[in-house]
Structures are given as C-alpha cells and as structure tokens.
Structure 1
Amino acid sequence: MNIEKRTIDFIPEEERHGNVRSLFTIWFSANMQITTLVTGALAIEFGLSPFWGIVAVIAGNLLGAIFMASHSVQGPKLGIPQMIQSRAQFGVVGAVLPLCVVILMYIGFFASSGVLGAQAISSAFSIPVNGGIVLLSIIALVITLFGYDLIHKMEKYFAIIFAVVFVFVTIEALRLPMPAHLWSPGHFTPGTFLLMVSIAATWQLTYAPYVADYSRYLPSNTPSLKTFAYTYAGTAIGTIWMMTLGIILTALIPKFLSNSSLGLANLIGLHFSVIMYLVIVLGVLAVNVLNLYGAFMSITTTLEAFTKLKATTKVRFWLVLTAAIIGTVLSIWGNGNFLNNFENFILLLSYFMVPWTAINLIDYYLLRQGEYSVWDVFNPNGQYGTFNWIAIFAYLVSVVLEIPFVNTTIYVGPVSKALGGTDIAWITGLVIPLILYYYPMKKRVKADLPIQEVVRKEVR
C-alpha cells in the first residue's frame, strides 16, 4: 500500500473512492476502546447511581453525536479536511486560533490514551509502562505515515474484532454478582447528572475537528443523509456501549479504575487475558492513529497559512514524528496522575471546542448551505480573507461567557455553584455564537452570493 499523497489539499473527483458504510466502522472502532470506558466510569466516581449514570451517558452521546456527525457531511461535499475548512469562517490566518486548540486536543488525547494502552502492554508482557507508551507511539507513527486508506482498512477489521470480544465481555460483566438495589434509580442529583451529560456530549463534540478528514475522499454525490447516518450510528453505538460497560464494571468491581486493563483481563479469565490485553492495545491504536493523523493535518494547515509549505513524504515524516514525540513525552509525564489529568483535560477542551463547532455548523448549514469556494480557502486574498474578525470575536467572547458555567477541579464558576455543581458551559458555547456570529455574518454572506454562483457553475 502506497503512502497517501494528499494532505490538506482538495481531493479531485477522479481520486474520490470508498464506501459511505466505512464511516460506521471508523467511528465505531475509534470509540470501542478503554479511554471511552474510563470516561463512562467517571459517572460512578462522581457519585451517580449506575441507573442515572447510564441515562446521562445515553442522553449526552445522542445529543452530542448530532453535531459531530453534521461535520462529517462536509467531507464529500467540499473534499478538504475539517480544520482547513475553518478558514471560510475565521479567515486563512484567523483559523490558526482554533487550530492551535485542536492541535493541543489531538496531542492530549494521544497522550492520555497511550497511558491506558501501555498499562495493558505492561500487564500482558511485563514491559515497563513507559516502554509500552513508546512502543504504541511507534506503531501509530508507521500507520499514520501511510494515511487515509490504511486507516480506513485497519478500522474496518478492528470493528469486527471489537464487536466480537466486547459482546463476550459484556455478557461476563452482566454475570457478575449484583446487589439488589444496583438498578434502582436511587437519589437523583441534578448537578452531578448534568455534569455527566456534559462529559458525554463533550466526548462527541471533541470529535468534531476529526470527522470530515475521513469522509473527504468519498464521491461528491454521496448522499448527505447517509454520510450523517453512518457516522452518527458508529460513534453513538460504540461510545454508549463502552461508557455503559465502564459504569457497570466500576460499580461491581472494587478499585476497577486503579488498573482498568487488569480489571478487564481478570473479568474474562486467565486463559483469555492476553487476548483482552491485545484488544485493549488495538483499541488505543484505533483512536491514537486518528489523533496523530489529525495533529499532522492541523500542524500542516497552520504552517501553510504562513509559509509555502509543500507536504512531501519527507515533510510528512518529520511533522508526524514531531507530533508523536510530543504526545509520547506528555503521556510519560501524565502517567502518575492519569485519571485526574484526563478529567480536567476533557472538560477544559469542551470550553474551547464547542464555540468553534457552533460557528462552523452555523456557517455551513444556516448561512452558506454548503456552498463554498474551495480555492479561496487556500488564498489569503480570496473572498474569505486573512482574518474574519466577526468569527474571531464571536469565538473568544463565547469562550469567556462559558466561564461562569464551568465546573472543574481547578475552577467552579458562580452560576455552576448556584446550580449545585451543574456544568452547562457547553450549551452556552453552542447558543452564544448563534447571536454573535449568525446575525453579523448574514449581510456579508449575501454579498458573497454572486461569487458563490460563479463557483457553482465552475464546479458543474
């Protein structure tokens, strides 16, 4: 298999290929991993009953996946990666603002997932955890260098393996001794419940910068409804399944989170433990390849805004290697206090990523109805300009206005305190851009319509 030649550039129609069904397997596989399971387990750590924890997980994922899958539709339509499309909202250079946040996100998730995968390698083969982190990073590096087609093919086979193994794991989990009161709703704490809903929704929303990267090679006539449906089903089913499993296992197995990999291996028995460890490692690879690929694409997009960067095979290697080294170092550093670091990390990301999601979707669906000049995305002198101060202002103000609603171990906002710990910052981050971005941009987009009509004719 050849190394992918395209990076952030437009994919011409003659190079489009693949089946829309592959979007189900790539997002199913990306979520069928131990980091997802640990995220669901936070519901028990927060003090929710398993019943309310599972309800929160289902509600948050079903809602968040709507926004996540809506981004996937942009791939076949525009034929460019997700984050470079942000130039149409923020400007060619202005898009560097959300890009920097996204790069941190990719590398952060790469680091946090690497810790859990390395724990599995350490338990299975008696390799030091730090050695396991390095090994996983090297494998992810090689796969990422080959790129899009290998990633899709890998995720397809991983999806089959994960489905078979975790059906067995789920059956074994449900066979554990269960207290009589386990499934009773118990005391309902609105603040804690909504905090878990926020975490589940955020899990999906933080995938928003990824999704179009893996649908952009599909033929441009791929039905938008199918693109949305396969992406939504894959990400929602995989995430809800694993988060629910995390809640059940944490509720039934004492100190499960102290070493979740070991807990899963013990669940299925000594004879199959190595298989379980390998599946955990494959799960980490499934998502970390996406993290590394996304980091590479975003770094390339950022550098291209200031330089005449040509993403040759050599440049590709060095950029991917740099991202992998940074992620590996962070993974080793965060190993000692993983759970606390991870909880803070995922909540922090939501406050920065949600307004970007809102601005991108408002622009695509409500203002331009998917009609863009792809060529101007690469041209600072084009219709999208160098900076779009309306988008930048809306983004920054939305992030600031989220602060009173946040609830983290570092800081709890006054509104969150008044609401008993409820964290609804992500809702604020979705709503505020509707006011600050949509209305000021309406007039500008109307002025761009004649240009867009010309572009439509050229495409036809």
Structure 2
Amino acid sequence: MPQMSRQDPLIENHTVDYVPLAERHGKARDLFTLWFSTNIAPLPIVTGAMVAQVFHLNLVWGLLAIAFGHMLGGVVIALASAQGPRMGIPQMVQSRGQFGRYGALLIVFFAALIYIGFFISNIVLAGKSIVGIVPSVPMPASILIGALSATAIGVIGYRFIHTLNRVGTWVMGGALLAGFIYIFAHELPADFLTRGGFNLAGWLATVSLGVIWQISFSPYTSDYSRYLPADIGITRPFIATYLGATLGTILSFAFGLVAALATPEGTEAMVAVKQATGWLGPILMVLFLLNIISHNALNLYGAVLSIITSIQTFASQWTPSIKVRVMLSGVILAGCCVVALGASEDFISQFIGLILALLLVLVPWASINLIDFYLIKRGVYDIASIFQADGGIYGRFNPHAIVAYFIGIIVQLPFANTSLYVGPWANLVEGADLSWLVGLVVTCPLYYCLATRQQTQKVKAVRLGYTD
C-alpha cells in the first residue's frame, strides 16, 4: 500500500458513500495480511482447544476437521471480499441492491447487533487479559483501556487497520510459529497422539464451527476491500482473502488443539497455552492482548458503518462526515463500556451464545448475497440507484429476496442447536449444529429460481410493450 501523502487525511473521510476510482489504492495482498493477523487471537485458540476437550477428537482427526471446516467456510468470506473492488461501497449498503432500500434494513440491524455484541465481549476479554498480565490494574480500568484503544484504531479507519495487520501478520505469525516449535521441542505427554479418537458427532461439530466462524465475517469483508482499484478483478482479492482467513484460523485452532493435548486433560485453554509454552507464554499473552484490541477495532468499524447505513436509508441526501463517524464511535464506546463494566463472570460465554444464535440470520443473507452478485447480476450493479431515496431500479423492497431470506431462517430452526434455542431435530448428529447447511441448501436454489423468474417476467413484459 502506498505511503500516505500530504493530501491523505489521517482519519478516513469516507463512511458508507462510494469510493471514487481516483481514490482507490492498495494491493490484493493487503487482504491476506488483514484476515491472517485478525484470526491469530485467543478466541480461535480457545475454540481450537474445544476440539480435544469437548468434542474428544485426537490430533489427526481434529486437524482434519479444523482444516476442512475453515477451507469450506472460507469460500464464503473470500467471495464476499472480492465484491469490494467492483462495488466500492460497504457490504451492508450493497444489500440494498438485493433486498431493496428498506428491505435491507433488517439485515443491517442484525449485523450491527452482532458487531456490538462481539465488541463488548472482546473488551471484557481484553480487560481480563490486562489484569492477567498486570494484576495491579483494576478490572474496570483494564476494560476502559481495551475499549479506548480499539476505538482509536476504528476511528482512524481503513488505512490504519490495514497497516496494523500487515505488521501483525509477521509478529503474530512468528509468535505462533515459535509457540509450536517450543511445544514440540519439549517432552510431550504419553497420550499426546492417542488422547481422544474419532467420533462422527465431534468431527461434524468441529467442521460446523469452522464454517460458521468464516461466515460470521462475511457481512463486513468488502468494507476492507472497497478501496482497492476497480480493475484488480475478482480472482486476486478472492485468493488473498481465502488464504489469509483460512490459514490464520487453521493455525490458531490447531495451536489451541496442540496446547490442550500437550497439557494434562481438563486444563483450561489459555492456562494450557501458558503451561505448554513455558517462558514464551507471557510474551504470547501480551501479543494476544494487542491482537484482541486490533481485531476489536473491526467490530467497532463495522458497527458504525451499519448504524450510518440505517440512518442514511431514511435520509438519502445525507453524506455523513468524519465528525459523525467519530461521534457514533464515542456513543457506541460509552454504551458498550457500561454493559461491560456491569458484566457477570460468565458474561462472555453467555453473550457469545447469543451472538452465535443470531448467526442463523447470516446464512440466508450470505446465500442471497453471493447468488445475486455472481449468478444473477454478475457483478453489475447501478450504484446510483443504491443511494436513491426510492431505491432506483432496486425499489424499496425486493419481495423475492425477502421471501427467500425468511424461508432460509425458518428451515434452519428445527436443526438449530444454540444456547437460546434447540430445535426438535437438533441432535440428529449429537453436539453438531448443522442448521447452516440446511440454510445454504434451501436458500441458494430458492433465491436463484425466484430471481431468474423475476428477470424472465421483466423481459417478457418489455417484449410485449407493457413497460417503458
């Protein structure tokens, strides 16, 4: 990415508006470093430890399930990311071209809720990490430090986020590699390779976790590719995002699995990391803290863009300024800190359970988004219509997309296995939430049929002279 010139503002000056071609910059490889660095963090490491501790897979079967799940789900995030250079607008704004100007509001609301939920969870996690490193710092102060740091990064915006993750790729990637080397260079437990085994439920549950993990990023991936030159194409952003997202998460999940197997059975995940990595453990804890803060900036950035998108839906002539984005960031920061400071000990697990339940609404959205972009409109959208008060050629509501979306949610419910709701068929494969698979299988062909039928009807109407 080129160095910032005198004309380039320190704080990003675009919000949800179209990024002009003259202001495009960067390389596809920036997407690799962003998604690789972002996913080397405590949460994926803790989740990877679950593969042995909860799903009782051994090392080989665990690694196979981790790799397969993320490689499968990575296709979704990579296809979503590749839309950014072509569109030049945030992902949620683009949804107006599929659901209509007002039809997209529900999806934008859910996306904002998920961003805010993860932001709160991560500032609590950052607070606990700071206390773990420096016990003399009170928990409330630690939470505020984590929150303010993430907000500062999110406010500065796109360029700074990419710059941090370019550095983070080398630092975090090197640290994780050093952790692997340390573990394997020391004596391993006798049951390191034999603890656990293969069970279908655990294997499918691990695969599902990988798929859901990747899909959860899809509502904001093009937010970080929309500044790339429009002529960069689809292939290069796809490959860069796919490799970054999958390699980063596979390595983190695998590290959690290895650390869990390298310590006595039942050891808490992050304690296992400290024990398994010896003198390197405290260094890893500090780096993980910094990565939590950096990653959390993405959640704040996405939340702000989603809220601005919602407001701008009712004020088509309004072009939000830098001040608006800064002000909204401050409001979100204050509200999230109030919630985080009053959080209970098990807040993170409870809140993550709520957010994962809300991911039920993302699967049909992702299905419609990808089918519409790649198979229906083939990447050709009327940007001006997306910002018009009446939705332009996309209208206020697209009933075909909305119908497909709600059916996609409904068909998942019987198979859902979340902390909030367990469907009657949730335990067809015990412990594995396969609702995402049902959502994809139903929503993709349903929307394609409805959308192509709509196009056919319009063509016939034009030929018969029934339209202008």
Q: Do the two structures share a fold, i.e. TM-score over 0.5?
A: yes
User: Residues 373-421 of structure 1, C-alpha deviation per residue, up to 9 Å, x if partnerless?
Assistant: 0111111420111111221121112111101111224433222223334
Aligned counterpart for 2:184 among listed residues 160, 163, 174 = 174
- Pairwise mapping of residues 31-430 of structure 1 onto structure 2 (< 5 A)? 31-51=39-59, 52-126=61-135, 127-184=137-194, 186-254=196-264, 258=268, 260=270, 263-270=272-279, 274-307=282-315, 308-334=317-343, 336-338=345-347, 340-341=349-350, 344-345=353-354, 347-381=356-390, 382-430=392-440
> SS state of the match for residue 213, structure 1?
helix
Which one-letter code corresponds to 1:433 in the other structure?
A: T
> SS state of the match for residue 11, structure 1?
coil
Deviation at 1:181, TM superposition (A): 3.7
> SS state of the match for residue 209, structure 1?
helix
Which one-letter code corresponds to 2:285 in the other structure?
A: Y
> SS state of the match for residue 168, structure 1?
helix
Deviation at 1:236, TM superposition (A): 0.5
Mapped contact 1:29–1:286 kept (Cα < 8 A): no
Deviation at 1:346, TM superposition (A): 5.0
Which one-letter code corresponds to 2:10 in the other structure?
A: N
| TM-score relative to the length of structure 2 | 0.90
Deviation at 1:206, TM superposition (A): 0.5
1:256/1:279 CA distance change after superposition, 3 Å: farther
User: Residues 323-372 of structure 1, C-alpha deviation per residue, up to 9 Å, x if partnerless?
Assistant: 22333344444451156325524531331111110010010011111111
Deviation at 1:249, TM superposition (A): 1.5
Deviation at 1:38, TM superposition (A): 1.4
1:221/1:360 CA distance change after superposition, 3 Å: same
User: Residues 43-67 of structure 1, C-alpha deviation per residue, up to 9 Å, x if partnerless?
Assistant: 2332322333322211110000001
The aligned length equals 448
Mapped contact 2:49–2:256 kept (Cα < 8 A): yes
Runs (5+) with no aligned partner, structure 1: 451-460
Aligned counterpart for 1:27 among listed residues 21, 35, 38 = 35
Mapped contact 2:39–2:245 kept (Cα < 8 A): yes
1:185/1:336 CA distance change after superposition, 3 Å: closer
1:94/1:176 CA distance change after superposition, 3 Å: farther
2-structure distance, mates of 1:339, 1:246? 18
1:383/1:224 CA distance change after superposition, 3 Å: same
2-structure distance, mates of 1:184, 1:32? 27
Bigger shift: residues 134-143 or 431-440: 431-440
1-structure distance, mates of 2:241, 2:377? 22
Which one-letter code corresponds to 1:62 in the other structure?
A: M
Mapped contact 2:48–2:252 kept (Cα < 8 A): yes
Deviation at 1:76, TM superposition (A): 0.4
| TM-score relative to the length of structure 1 | 0.91
2-structure distance, mates of 1:420, 1:280? 33
2-structure distance, mates of 1:73, 1:394? 24
User: Residues 137-174 of structure 1, C-alpha deviation per residue, up to 9 Å, x if partnerless?
Assistant: 10111111111111111111111111111111111233
Which one-letter code corresponds to 1:311 in the other structure?
A: P
Deviation at 1:176, TM superposition (A): 4.9
Which one-letter code corresponds to 1:135 in the other structure?
A: I
User: Residues 90-127 of structure 1, C-alpha deviation per residue, up to 9 Å, x if partnerless?
Assistant: 11111111111111111112222223322221122222
Which one-letter code corresponds to 1:159 in the other structure?
A: T
Mapped contact 1:92–1:387 kept (Cα < 8 A): yes
Which one-letter code corresponds to 1:233 in the other structure?
A: L
Mapped contact 2:49–2:269 kept (Cα < 8 A): no
Structure number having the greater helix percentage: 1
2-structure distance, mates of 1:383, 1:104? 29
Runs (5+) with no aligned partner, structure 2: 1-8, 461-468
1-structure distance, mates of 2:88, 2:361? 26
Mapped contact 2:153–2:294 kept (Cα < 8 A): no
Deviation at 1:199, TM superposition (A): 1.2
Deviation at 1:233, TM superposition (A): 0.4
Deviation at 1:256, TM superposition (A): 7.5
2-structure distance, mates of 1:353, 1:343? 15
2:26 is matched with which residue? 18
> SS state of the match for residue 228, structure 2?
coil
Aligned counterpart for 1:9 among listed residues 14, 17, 24 = 17
Mapped contact 1:35–1:116 kept (Cα < 8 A): no
Indicate the percent of aligned positions where both proteins have the same amino acid: 35
Mapped contact 1:117–1:280 kept (Cα < 8 A): no
> SS state of the match for residue 6, structure 1?
coil
